[in-house]
Amino acid sequence: MGDDNDERPPANPADLEALAVPEGFELGADGGYRATDSIDAKWAARGPYVIPLSLDGREAVSFEPRQFSGWASYLSEDFERSRALLLLHIGPCDDGPAAPLAIREVRLMTFEPVNFPGSSLLRLIPWERIEAAVNQPSRRAILADFVDPRFPAPNPGPRDLHEWPFQRPKERLSQPDLRLEVPEGYRKPDAFYAEVAERFLQAAALSPRPAQDLAEANEVKPTTVHRWIREAKARGLLALPGDRKPRTPDENT
């Protein structure tokens, strides 16, 4: 096991010798990559990446500002009142191509003695809304720096818990515009279904009824939106962990 400063960009260990050492890393004695002080300083200046889960910003996930960490905190008034901190390890849900991000591990911490709070607090976690938020295509591009793309990702735990786990959005979130420009005709281009995916995940991060919200915004029936969503998934433009079929032993060998 490495120490807390270990950073391992995606690479097959057998191929490490054939790869150039990435900028900001150095090759350790064990053949692994370690972040240099310069990259640590850049990440400290960059700060956490915060994704709001409510319009007022009281509910959010905040990602540790460390390359390939994958650790995020979930912030809500319920957890704040309970004097508890919830940490989530985010990573690919499987080793398949273009695997969606999923919650891979949960750690619950309390700041004062309480009767065991786990079961009551864990029921408050909005699993589906968090996974919808981190899988928005516009956010995945940013999270590529924060989340290790390997499965299963190495997981030494977060480095420190001083400030980033408590960082909420600095500004209120505007109500997302869920309206779509719907092309005429039955067959529609990929660009339309890519927009369906983005708008659906925007709604799903904030609402327990995203398809209904999308239908109301576009003055169509919910069945129409469900058809759009199915087509977006069929074209590989919308992926969530719950949609992945379990891999068989033959597929894993």
Per-residue confidence (pLDDT) for residue 114, from 0 to 100: 62
Give me the mean pLDDT over the 181-207 stretch: 95
Model confidence, pTM: 0.78
Indicate the average pLDDT of the chain: 83
pLDDT score at 245? 66
Residue 172 has pLDDT above 80, yes or no: yes
3-class SS of residue 101 = strand
Q: 207: exposed, middle or buried (C-beta count within 10 Å: 0-12, 13-18, 19+)?
A: middle
C-alpha count within 13 angstroms, C-beta hemisphere, residue 146: 26
Read off φ and ψ for residue 39, nearest 5 degrees: -70, -35
Please state the φ and ψ torsions of residue 135, each to the nearest 5 degrees: -100, 5
Give the pLDDT of residue 1. Answer: 43
Cis amide prior to 189 (ω within 30 degrees):
no
CB 70 within 8 A of CB 81: no
Give the span between the Cα atoms of 127 and 106, in whole angstroms.
11
Dist. CA 73–CA 165, nearest whole Å: 5
Q: How many CA atoms lie within 13 A of 26 on its CB side?
A: 9
The larger pLDDT score, comparing residue 160 to residue 86, is at: 86
Confidence of residue 42 (pLDDT cuts 50, 70, 90): confident
Q: 172 versus 230: which is more confidently predicted?
A: 230
Q: Which residue has the higher pLDDT, 155 or 108?
A: 108
Which residue did the predictor score with more confidence, 38 or 221? 221
With 50 as the cut, is the pLDDT of residue 63 above it?
Answer: yes
Examine the pLDDT at 155 and tell me if it is beyond 80: no
Q: Would you state the pLDDT for residue 213?
A: 97
State residue 243's pLDDT score.
85
pLDDT at 75 over 90: yes
pLDDT of residue 86: 93
pLDDT at 37: 60
pLDDT at 26: 64
CB proximity list for 245: less than 8 A, separation 6 or greater:
none
pLDDT (0 to 100) of residue 237: 94
